[in-house]
Structure 1
């Protein structure tokens, strides 16, 4: 396929790569410092202080305290934007006394564009098991998903762009977002106006991805990550003696019937072309082997890509629970929550990222075009507002034992990916703003 984003001639790409690779020691230092001080969603005070300190040190305009701990940095390019089809207009003839000023051709400057870059900052409630010098110093909290790396990459990008403002036109907004892991910081930041003043034309973001080896990159148009929804249900039966079930309504039996019935939703109610998941992850009931439990509690998650399915699962799950309970004589309490919509990339922005990736990963073999996961991301809210692309940057290295999955207590990644992430962002800025 011929790229609609031809290689840029605005900057010396070999110079860019050398300059970014020289930042690698600082990127590692920043990432490890952040890794040692992990914080949960909307509590990222130390992280935000560190980010703000660096931005201030580099003279970068920024605003703090957005949606509790979020930060937005603004870097304004000094290069004049180039118009592929410059427009000209006839200036009206003006008369000053008896002298007329002839018409002249005036070239209108193209609109200065704004590209946003998003990075999340929060950690997870996990006790780290890695025996490394930079392990978490906060008990029960760990950067087990790479957000420390995302923040370091965004800082490196901010530093580079600030030092090379003459190389790009337009404006770059770098959004340091809290609480991606929950309850979600993207929407509060959007509600606070981070996509306004100046208005953002497009947005990009990346996720370090231990499901891909170092040196690869996953990007695709359309759905990249799934919608995330959760449910909780309590079954109210009638307890009693295990030897006298006829006197009871067994909440365990009711719950078991519900779990089985829920599996028919994907198997028989969803179009086989549409991928979806209904998982019951928790089921708690009973206190003793010879006591029939009067109450059973379950919770689960729903994942899907197709936005047309929004609202379907909550209705169907409730129908099944209600039907089983009515059949077996139980009552229920049901709660459903739609957390994040599907993360859906704009086709044009995905093509831009892919075209840049061909240069950064150096070989098309390293680009995984159909990379998808049923994991969820609140980057999806940004992508609902403006065209954008979220992509995966391979970070696993089996030879260094850096391939544990995300959210594992021994998760870590090959830090070589940090400079690669900065290069991806910088080249995307060049390709989008200077084209």
Structure 2
């Protein structure tokens, strides 16, 4: 367990963290537009003292805490952006911005990391190494803020990185622990099926893109069911379809959009090739054409085995064995993966659902919420894990930078 002094600090910090979370929730900002949020974070960090605070991009903030003794540099990341969703909750602190809402827990992530920075900034004499508190912009909108921060050099001297994510789908009182891949590769595509428009009464004089598009959509389902091994995880979903404006006109083209989720690199690349082969084959058979624009999104988040073991040990020590819930991989995407190209990392779901409080709605839902008691859980884990990693003994056992 954490020492009595830390327990007291965490208990005192809980209400402040909740207050910060409610402030961010009330004034949400979309990806790449987190101007007020990042300024609030910057000013708050500056008020703590003992931190080197910088702005690597327009709407991100990084604070460095230098420990008394030499050692590794640990990165702790929180994302700050909200979503283009109209909130349907009736809390006093509901969003004041029309059509914008914190519907994924990023308000809580930012508040928890501020709380950790406040407590740890007063305990640098206990640390062997440094901590970088990374307040990231634009997780929700590819190419994502993490990639920008990597390009800005934020990860150049980071040896290990940890990210927490509040999860309404996990009950409060649990931490999700997953080894290896925990989120999927997350790609999208735009496919234009090109035909020849004409009057609906004379289809013989047209090349009907709607007929071609329907066949393409149907055959896309075969990528998973007939072209991918059942032992591999792959999802190909057609999610948008735009065609025509008049009932008596065969349009000249159809626009199809969709999502591709995978884990394996070979499966990912095979899906791209199959989408194109299907489009080429069907349009060619009908005398039409196609244009495929494939967008590679976030790569899979792969938790480092050694660091994840340390996280698991810390949870057991601080909370007990019953707080652990082993999790598999999910088909959701996360740009935390960009950091893992530079250093080993671990991404940890923090249980924030509560049936008794009617906190049951999934992420990106207009009624999404979190059990605010989970903010203290996340704060305690950040404090205890940072100290466990940045001690003299830990320097001998944890992985060096890849």
TM-score bucket of the superposed structures, by smaller chain: over 0.9
Structure 1, 114-123 or 162-171: larger mean CA deviation: 162-171
Q: Which runs of 4+ in 1 moved over 6 A?
A: none
Deviation per CA, 1:267-310, whole angstroms, max 9, x where unpaired? 22223222111111001212233433332111011111123434
User: Aligned match of 1:189 in 149, 152, 173?
Assistant: 149
Does the residue aligned with 2:113 lie in a helix, a strand or coil? helix
Alignment-derived partner of residue 103 in structure 2: 144
Alignment-derived partner of residue 27 in structure 1: 17
Gap regions ≥5 residues in structure 1: 1-10, 81-110
User: Aligned match of 1:252 in 182, 205, 210?
Assistant: 210
Aligned counterparts of 2:102 and 2:245: Cα–Cα separation in 1: 36
Would you say 1:371 and 2:323 are equivalent positions? no
1:368 positional shift: 1.9
Larger Rg: 1
State the aligned residue count. 391
Contact 1:60 1:73 in 2 (8 A): no
Alignment-derived partner of residue 173 in structure 2: 215
Deviation per CA, 1:328-360, whole angstroms, max 9, x where unpaired? 222112101101111111111111111112234
Alignment-derived partner of residue 387 in structure 1: 344
Give the CA RMSD over aligned residues.
1.6
Contact 2:2 2:384 in 1 (8 A): no
Q: What pairs up with 1:244-283 in 2 under 5 angstroms? A: 244-283=202-241
Aligned counterparts of 1:194 and 1:375: Cα–Cα separation in 2: 25
User: Aligned match of 2:190 in 222, 232, 244?
Assistant: 232
User: Aligned match of 2:295 in 303, 315, 337?
Assistant: 337
Alignment-derived partner of residue 137 in structure 2: 178
Does the residue aligned with 1:163 lie in a helix, a strand or coil? coil
Deviation per CA, 1:115-161, whole angstroms, max 9, x where unpaired? 11011111111111111111111111111111010000110110010
1:12 positional shift: 4.7
Alignment-derived partner of residue 156 in structure 1: 115
Alignment-derived partner of residue 93 in structure 1: none
- CA change 1:260–1:333 in 2 (3 A) is same
1:220 positional shift: 1.2
Structure 1, 249-258 or 221-230: larger mean CA deviation: 249-258
Does the residue aligned with 1:411 lie in a helix, a strand or coil? coil
Deviation per CA, 1:18-53, whole angstroms, max 9, x where unpaired? 321221110110000011111111211111111111
Aligned counterparts of 1:146 and 1:415: Cα–Cα separation in 2: 10
Gap regions ≥5 residues in structure 2: 395-402
Aligned counterparts of 1:163 and 1:309: Cα–Cα separation in 2: 48
Contact 1:67 1:185 in 2 (8 A): no
- CA change 1:282–1:360 in 2 (3 A) is farther
Alignment-derived partner of residue 96 in structure 1: none
User: Aligned match of 1:287 in 245, 249, 252?
Assistant: 245
User: Aligned match of 1:303 in 243, 261, 271?
Assistant: 261
